[in-house]
Structure 1
């Protein structure tokens, strides 16, 4: 069973959430929890709805107003949606990179910087010679 499947009638959802059915009706009117409606207009709650009702009860017990709870739930839902979208985009990017191997090649520059190369090209080899001499003249040991 999917957590979003609307399977519970209002009496069962209220019992699972530890609330009175009238409270669930009020939360539906306020838009805090929006259950699915059947063809006969009966409310059907999912496990996700029941979890959200429990969260509303917890926040309410902590003294958060219904307006505050509404805002918190909206932000939590937005985070859930965005997290899912980021995951989708990560998978799409990984798939795209697997389908196009060798598109981006990098090399280390002389100063340690990263140099981007086109596919099929090689990094230029430097042939300069650097000579280093200590400062101060001769070096003798006693």
Structure 2
């Protein structure tokens, strides 16, 4: 089963998390967990949501973090995950661009020597065109 699939009824999710269903409703209202909704409006939870509920319980009961603090921690962890994904995507684009540039330089008649270490101090390109016989 996909850990992100929102298929668990609130009673099942509450039992798996070791909580009362009313606690899950409260956490939903606070934005600590975001269950899916069935066509009839009933809450549906994923296995990932159950893990998150257990972490909320651990932070609040074992670590003594307030629910407002738990929400802040969860929001920051989500932000870090999103930024990591964006950074990885940007890195992949950069690697692709570097490879593509290298490919283009190998087939180009005029490679980009300014991107490579050079022993010369300057490079000049001289274009010559013969004069026409008339002028």
SS at the partner of 1:100?
A: helix
SS at the partner of 1:5?
A: coil
Rounded Cα–Cα distance in structure 1 between residues aligned with 2:51 and 2:34: 13
State the TM-score, normalizing by the size of structure 1: 0.71
Alignment correspondent of 1:114: none
Rounded Cα–Cα distance in structure 2 between residues aligned with 1:121 and 1:67: 54
Q: 1:63 to 1:101 in 2, by over 3 A?
A: same
- If each structure's helix is expressed as a fraction of its own residues, which one has the higher value? 2
Rounded Cα–Cα distance in structure 2 between residues aligned with 1:80 and 1:23: 26
Q: CA deviation at 1:26?
A: 0.7
* Count of aligned pairs: 114
Rounded Cα–Cα distance in structure 2 between residues aligned with 1:23 and 1:120: 62
SS at the partner of 1:118?
A: helix
Q: Could you give the per-residue CA deviations for residues 31-69 of structure 1, whole angstroms, max 9, x where no partner exists?
A: 111101111101111122111101100001121111111
1:123 aligns with 2:124: no
Alignment correspondent of 1:53: 53
Rounded Cα–Cα distance in structure 2 between residues aligned with 1:65 and 1:119: 54
Rounded Cα–Cα distance in structure 2 between residues aligned with 1:43 and 1:83: 30
Q: CA deviation at 1:3?
A: 2.5
Q: Which has the larger radius of gyration?
A: 1
State the TM-score, normalizing by the size of structure 2: 0.75
Q: CA deviation at 1:119?
A: 5.2
